[in-house]
Structure 1
C-alpha cells in the first residue's frame, strides 16, 4: 500500500514537471508586447512588463526547445530610455524567451510579426486631422420669414482650404452611445496627441490603423460642393460629430478625419407692419370756377330786373 502511494506521488510529480513548460508558455502568451519593424527582416520588441527595467531574452522558431540550449542576451535601451529586444528573422512568427535574471525561469511569448508596425506607420497617426487642410471656424446665416417673425439661423460650416485641384468627399456621423467605433476613433485621436512612450505609440497606431481603415471602407461618401460642408440641418447646438474626409487627385486617395462640435444660434425679431390709409380731403370752394361766375351774374341780373319792376309798380300806384 505504501509503495502504491509512492508510485502515485511520483507520477504526479513527473506530470507536474512535464506540464510546467506548457503552463509557462500559456501564461506568458497574454503578455502585452508591441513589435516595430525597423528595416527588412529586422524587428524591435517592446514588452510592457520590461519597459523600465533590463531583462534577458532569446528567440527561437518554436517553443519546443530546451531553455538551456538558448543563448540569452541583455536587453538594449532605445533613445527614449525604454528597454527593448532586437532580432532578425525571415519568418512570420517567432518565440521570445524573457527573464529578469539568468538563473530565473524564462517566460515564452509568441510574436506575430505580421502585426508589426513600421516607424512611418506609427508617425503617420500624428498627421490625423492635418492631411486635408480645413477651416472649421466659419459660419453661414440663413434668414426665413414666418408671418411677421424673421428668423436668422447661424450654423457652423467646414471649409476645405486645400488648394489642390482634386475632388473631395465626406461623411458626417453624430456621436451617440450607439456609434461605438466612431467614439473610439475620437478617443484614440485624443490619446495620440498626448504624452506616450514608444510601446503605447505602437499599440495605439496598430489599433487606430485597423479601425480607421474599417470606417473609411464602410463610409457612404457624398461629394463636397464648393469645398463647403454644411452641418446636418437637424443638428443642435453643442452636438459632437465625426467627419470623415476623402481626397482623390490623379488617382491617389487621401483619407482624414475631423472632430467637430455643431454650432447653431437662432435670433428672431417681430416686424411691425405699417398700415397705409388714404384720406380724401375736400378742398374749400374758392369760386374760381367760371360756371359759378355765370350763375352769379344771372342771379344778380334777375334781382335787378325784379327790383326795377317792383319800383315801376309802386310808381304807377302812386300816380293813381
Structure 2
C-alpha cells in the first residue's frame, strides 16, 4: 500500500507554468510524509488561475523555480507509483515542465484517483475531487496543492480498504483501471525548447529612438538564465534592448552575454549550473568571446554611457 500522491497548480494556461506542488507519501496504507512548495514559474499569472488557487506573482518571488525544486520532487517520485486526481493533467504538467530545462523523465508508474473513484463509488453523481472528498468526509481546501494531493491519497487508501486490496496495482487490476508507465523523454537539445518568457523577449523593441552606439550592449546578443531578484526577465530584457541589444531565448554561437540572476549566480559559484551556463562554459573553452554577467553587474551596465 505504498504510493505517492501529487498535485500541481499552474500560473496560466501553459502546463509548464507550475506555481505550486503538493506531494503526499503513503507507506503501509498510512500517510508518512507531506511536502509542499510554491514554485516560481518565471511566467505571468493569469487572473483566472489566481482566482482559483489564490497564488499571485508576488507570493512566488522568492520561491524556487521548477528546475531548482526538481531534485526534491524527483527524489520522492522516482521508482514509485504516483497517484493524482485527473492524472493526465498532472502528468502533462510534469512532462512539459521537464522539457523546459531539457531533463528526461524519471521512471515511475502512475494511476488516477478519479478513475479509481468512478469504479469504487459508481453511485456518485460525479467524481470531482471535491465531490468524492465530501462523500468520504475528507477535509479539503480545494486547489491548495497539498490538500488536493492529500485528498487523492486518502481516496486511494479508502478505495483499497473498501475493496480489501493491498496495493494500488491490485486495486487497479480488480477494477480494470490502467496503471501507466512514465513517458521516457530523451535529453533535449538545449536550443530546441524555450520558455514563454524567453520567447517574449525576442520580440522586444527599444522604447527610445536614439541609441548610443558606444554602449557595451549596443549590437550585442544577450541571453538570460535563472530567476532575477530585482525585476522580471522581460523587464530586464527591455532595459538591454533599450541599449541596442538583441535578446534571445537560447544560447548559440552569436551570443555575447549570458546574464545570470543573482540567486542562480550564487549557485553557479558553488558549481550548480543551468543548461545555458553549461553550454556557455563549453563555448568559452572553445575560445568564443562570451561573457557571463551577474544581475547586479548587468544593472550597472545598462545604466553605463561612456
TM-score norm. by structure 2 comes to 0.22
Radius of gyration: which is bigger? 1
The structure whose residues are more often strand, as a share, is 1
